[in-house]
Chains A and B, each alone.
Chain A
Amino acid sequence: MTALAAAVLALAAAGCSSDEGSSSDGAAAPGSADTVVSVVSTDDACEVSTTSVPPGSVAFEVTNEGGSPTEFYLYTADDDIVGEVEDVGPGLTRTLTVQDVVEGNYVTACKPGMTGDGIRADFQVTAAAGSSSSSG
């Protein structure tokens, strides 16, 4: 039993190291990220507070103001998942933190009802963005 618990904790510790472009979900202190982006997900809209951020770590604070559980994904331009947060119940705020995100074009997607391709928008990571933080 202790051996198994130790193995799980070892795996967790290994995952805790800052990988290139690694991400995590939860509701972790978004203040530890370089940039905080607010996302408001409703039944038919996905409001992302900013669509251009500088490289580094980005925390997406996803608030569900719709009626059904939603998900939030960050995709590369090639539709690979960079990070996701699922099961954002109505009324909840959950945070997706992406570490070491590099310059490039990305796509954000809210999926109200946790189904389909979702409500997508382009998202840019560029050094020219300067520091930005969430507004509203």
Chain B
Amino acid sequence: MFVSNALIGLREGLEAALVVVILLAFLVKTDRRWGIRYVWLGVGTAVVLSVVLGAVMTFGTRQLSFEAQEIIGGTASIIAVGFVTVMVFWMKSAARSISGELKGRLDRALDLGPLAVALVGFLGVGREGLETAIFFYATAQAAGAGNNLPLLGWAVGIGAAVLLGYLIYRGALQINLGRFFKWTGVALIFVAAGILAYGIHDLQEAGVLPGLETLAFDVSGTVDPSAWYAVLLKGIFNFTPATTVLQAAAWVLYVATVLYFFLRPARLPAAPPSSTASPTVERSAA
């Protein structure tokens, strides 16, 4: 009972922390410490919103319909993927400017502004925040009824996720600058692909996208979803043992496209990096 709930806490914590941690490492590594407070602003807003909405849904009589919950989670995840994709190509151009390929300052049009940074923090934590808050209240109610184990387990799981996130952050800071951009970029692409697949599944559950029951594969016979390695796979890569065709197709398409453009050497020194169909963000964006 302790371990199962700890694993759920670990998974939820990792899913929330990973993008935020990599963004923080990037901001520190590239002397953009001004961005740190905006990340925490976004994260803090998401936490407060989740806690409040979670309390309303747990103790109140107004309800958020199942479909609405899935639509919000799915849409927030897909929007998050858009921002992370922009972030990945921002890293690529930052790498080129630092290595001297781009003479002069980083192209301002591609520099992320405070709002974009805060939004990535908000979306990274908020997309699953409501579900996490509701789970927390359920463990609190169990504790109120005399069973402390789920709450303690969950709290330990969240703590472990925070610790793991911190270690990843420190580890990312140690990598030499040249490799840092390439490998954190690649890691982010795989994490974002997982978030995309997750968002698609939410929209399939809500009935907005078809194909909920059309599975590409189902290995839950061999990979028990509540085993620790499955939890880590889900927390980091959003890998689920039962994956639909739409999820798998989106994942493969995303990785193939973005990885190709990310790893391809830039053709001209001053050319901005190619981007896929993702929103560009400017400092003046409202």
- A contact residues vs B (CB 8 Å cutoff): 1, 3-5, 8, 11-12, 14-16, 19, 22-29, 32, 67-69, 79-81, 83-84, 87-94, 97, 99, 113-116
How many cross-chain pairs have Cβ atoms below 8 Å apart between A and B?
142
20 A-B contact pairs sorted by A residue (CB < 8 Å): A1-B115, A4-B122, A11-B68, A15-B68, A16-B62, A22-B67, A24-B69, A25-B69, A27-B58, A28-B60, A69-B8, A83-B66, A84-B66, A84-B205, A90-B1, A90-B5, A90-B150, A91-B1, A92-B139, A93-B142
Contact status B64-A16, CB under 8 Å? yes
Contact status B150-A91, CB under 8 Å? yes
Contact of B131 among A23, A80, A87, A90 (CB under 8 A): A87
- Interface residue SS majority, chain A: mixed
B102 within 8 A of A: no
Q: How far is the CB of B171 from chain A (nearest CB, A)?
A: 29
Contact status A27-B141, CB under 8 Å? yes
- Interface residue SS majority, chain B: helix
B245 within 8 A of A: no
B138 within 8 A of A: yes
Contact status B131-A115, CB under 8 Å? no
Please report the total number of B residues contacting A with Cβ < 8 Å.
54
Give Cα distance in the complex from A29 to B5, angstroms.
23
Contact status A1-B122, CB under 8 Å? yes
Q: Beyond A24-B64, A28-B61, list 5 extra A-B contacts (CB 8 Å).
A: A87-B8, A89-B153, A91-B5, A91-B149, A99-B65
Contact of A16 among B63, B122, B126, B134 (CB under 8 A): B63
